[in-house]
Structure formats: C-alpha cells, structure tokens
Amino acid sequence: MVEMYSISLFAVNISVFLLYAGPDQLLPLASIVGTIIGILMIGWQRVLGFMRTAFNSVMQRFRTSK
C-alpha cells in the first residue's frame, strides 16, 4: 500500500512539473505572439489603405457622373 501511494505521488509531481510555465518558457511565446500581432497590424493597414483607395475611386467616379 505504501508503494502505491508513493507511485501516485510521483505521478502528481511529474504532472505538476510538466505544467509549470516559468519566464524562460513564456518570453519566447510572448515574442511569437507579438510578432504575429505586428504582422497582422501591418497587413491590416494595407487592407484599409486599399479599401480607402477603392472607395475614394468609386466615389470620385460617382460624383463626376452626376
């Protein structure tokens, strides 16, 4: 019975150890997330610029046709 308790305690300790996320694991993850968000922001700016140009072009043609 004592051996069973020590094995289950050992398994709990390993699972807690594997779930630990310290700063050395979180900093690269934060860097990756920041890079992805930065790329999305750059891309979003280009999408908005394209939409703005297309809208202004359509509105300019609409104004001149009247």
Any idea where the domains of the chain sit in the sequence?
21-66
Q: What pLDDT digit, counting tens, does each position of 14-55 carry?
A: 666 666 767 787 788 889 999 999 998 889 888 899 999 999
Phi/psi for 22 (5° steps) reads -90, 180
Q: State both tokens at 40.
A: 């999305």
Q: 28 to each of 8, 22, 23, 35, how far by Cα in Å?
A: 33, 11, 9, 10
Residue type, 44: W
pTM of the complete model beyond 0.75: no
pLDDT of residue 1: 46
